[in-house]
Amino acid sequence: MSILEIRDLHATVETPEGTKEILKGVDLTIKAGETHAIMGPNGSGKSTLAYAIAGHPKYEITSGSVTLDGQDVLEMSVDERARAGIFLAMQYPVEVPGVSVSNFLRTAKTAVSGEAPALRTWVKDVRSAMDELKMDPVFAERNVNEGFSGGEKKRHEILQMELLKPSIAILDETDSGLDVDALRVVSEGVNRAKERTDLGIMLITHYTRILNYIKPDFVHVFVNGKVAEQGGPELAERLEAEGYERFLEGAK
Ligand code: ADP
Ligand code: MG
Ligand code: MG
């Protein structure tokens, strides 16, 4: 049973105009098996929250805490966070020239689990995960994200998640740029992972569309660097109808 606890988290970034505070006191708890939708307008700090938890060096944590099963996540290196079971599917996955998907996945799996996966079962696991995500097997020999379409990049993120088997997954706008078919395939992948491993999910999104496929247990409205309101799935329906206006007014 994993539990990720974020308490009063503040984070800054260096900009040409000086130090800017982006996270302004985030409180959030995610337990194994729970899906939390984080919804908010562009620029509210959703990706910064994802990066802060994953350990991106650009963001400085100025106060607050993040713990996983009581262990201090902020003290861990990026690698240690991954080994502890935290996974981040990035909003803008990066290209890794010269590294094939197949090599990348095997290296990542080895790093996260501490030993190289047994070749026979591994090859089978990769094939069946790719098959479930409706990815052509030739994909495995292409370089990571090089020339991938938006949908292919997002499928590749979910493929990593399926193979690395994290306990907490942060999915940063995994739905953006997907057509309806790709959205369904990716969502089904997430739902399978939920069933298989009792995954705790932080589902960052801008739109309610993905919530038709991945049912959230909790919805958090994220505005101006913190959670402005939280509720159940009905809150997403209200956002769909009313937009973020009300919350933006409140944040001023
Ligand atoms: P969201 O994901 O909700 O759209 P972000 O976390 O990407 O929001 O960004 C929040 C705010 O922080 C934005 O105003 C953005 O321009 C700023 N910001 C984020 N990262 C950086 C950075 N590396 N350098 C400068 N400003 C940044
Ligand atoms: Mg954005
Ligand atoms: Mg973002």
In the chain, what are the domains? 3-92+150-251 (3.40.50.300)
Residues present in the chain in total: 252
Residue whose CB lies within 8 A of the most ligand 1 atoms, among 10, 14, 19, 22, for a mutation test: 22
Give the per-residue pLDDT at 177: 84
Query: Angle at the Cα of 54 (from 240 to 210), degrees rounded to 5?
Result: 25
Q: Is the pLDDT of residue 252 over 60?
A: no
SS3 content of the chain, % helix, strand, coil (to 5): 40, 30, 30
**Tokens representing 30?**
């995610």
Residue 22 CB less than 6 A away from ligand 1 = yes
What pLDDT band is residue 251 in, cutting at 50, 70 and 90?
A: low
Residue whose CB lies within 8 A of the most ligand 1 atoms, among 10, 13, 172, 224, for a mutation test: 13
What is the number of the ligand closest to the CA of 90? Answer: 3
Average pLDDT, the chain: 94
Q: What is the pTM of this model?
A: 0.95
Q: What is the DSSP letter of 143?
A: E
Cα-based distances in Å from 107 to 46, 118, 126, 242: 28, 13, 13, 45
The residue whose CA has the least distance to atom 19 of ligand 1 is 48
Span from the CA of 21 to the centroid of ligand 1 (angstroms): 10
Residue 205 CB less than 6 A away from ligand 1 = no
Give the per-residue pLDDT at 20: 97
Residue 55 CB less than 6 A away from ligand 1 = no
The answer to whether residues 225 and 24 touch, using CB atoms and an 8 Å cutoff, is: yes
